[in-house]
Chains A and B, each alone.
Chain A
C-alpha cells in the first residue's frame, strides 16, 4: 500500500536494531505503527516505546482491530509497521490490508518454536502462516540488521 515503507516482525518491537539501523536504512519513514493487542493494553510499555522513537518520527500503538480500520483508510506519511508475530501479519492480510513485503527481524526461541534459520525460530503454526503469505505473493525475508544478507523465506519453507 502507498506509504508503507517497511513491515517488520520483531518480538522486541522497537529496540536498538530498529532505532540505530532500520530507521537509517529507511530514512523516509516519519511514522511507526506498532500493532500488538497486548502492548495496546499496557500503558507502561506504550510510554516506553513513545520515549524510544527519535525526534521527527511519530508513533502509535494499535490493536489488530484498530490497525485494520486505520490502514483501510490509507497512510498519509511514510510509515513503518512493526509487529511481534506472523499471526498479526496474517490477520491484517486476511482483513484485506495490502502488504507486499515482510521483514523478519526477531523471532526468538520460545516454547513451541523450533529453530528455523539461525536465531529465527518458528512454531508449526507460524510456518503454515509464512507459507500462506508467500503463496499470496508476499515477499518474506529474514534480515536482522541491514548490514546482513537477506534470506528469502520461500527458499527455507518445504
Chain B
C-alpha cells in the first residue's frame, strides 16, 4: 500500500488528521509531522525522514503538505534523494478523507496522486448559492 504523510507548519497536519479520524477513522500507513518554531532544518528533516520510513512499505509515499514552497514542502522534497515520494501542496480535509477511505492495496502511487489532486480541487466550491 502506498503510504501517506501529512506535513505542515505547526499542528495543522496532526489536527487535520484528528479531524479526519472523527469522520472516517485513522488511515493505515499514514503519519503526520509539523515544523515548530524551535526546529532547525536538521531536526525537522530527521522527524520527517522517520515518518516516511514508517509508512513506506515499498510502494512509495504520497506527501500532503500545507503550502507550496514552505518548509514542510522543502523538507519532504529533500527526501526525494533517497525515497520514492510524490508531493501535493495545499491539502484539505476531503483529500485526507479520500486517502483514508479510497486507498487500497491495489492503488498505485500515480493513481493516488492524480485522484487526490482532483478531489482536493473539486471539493472547493461555493455552497448554497
Contact = CB atoms under 8 A, between A and B. Distances in A.
A48 interface: yes
Interface string A1-29: 00000000001101110011000000000
Interface string B40-52: 1111000000000
Contacts of A78: none
Interface size class of B (residues with CB under 8 A): 10 to 19
B37 A20 contact: no
Interface stretch (B55-63, B67-75, B115-123): B67-75
Contacts, number: 44
B70 A119 contact: no
B71 A12 contact: yes
Nearest to B42: A110
A108 B40 contact: yes
Given A44-B81, A52-B69, A119 B74 contact: no
Given A108-B41, A109-B38, A110-B40, A15 B70 contact: yes
Nearest to B77: A48
A8 B81 CA distance: 27
Contact of B70 (A11, A20, A108): A20
Contacts of A119: 37-38
7 contacts: A12-B41, A12-B71, A15-B71, A16-B69, A16-B71, A16-B73, A52-B74
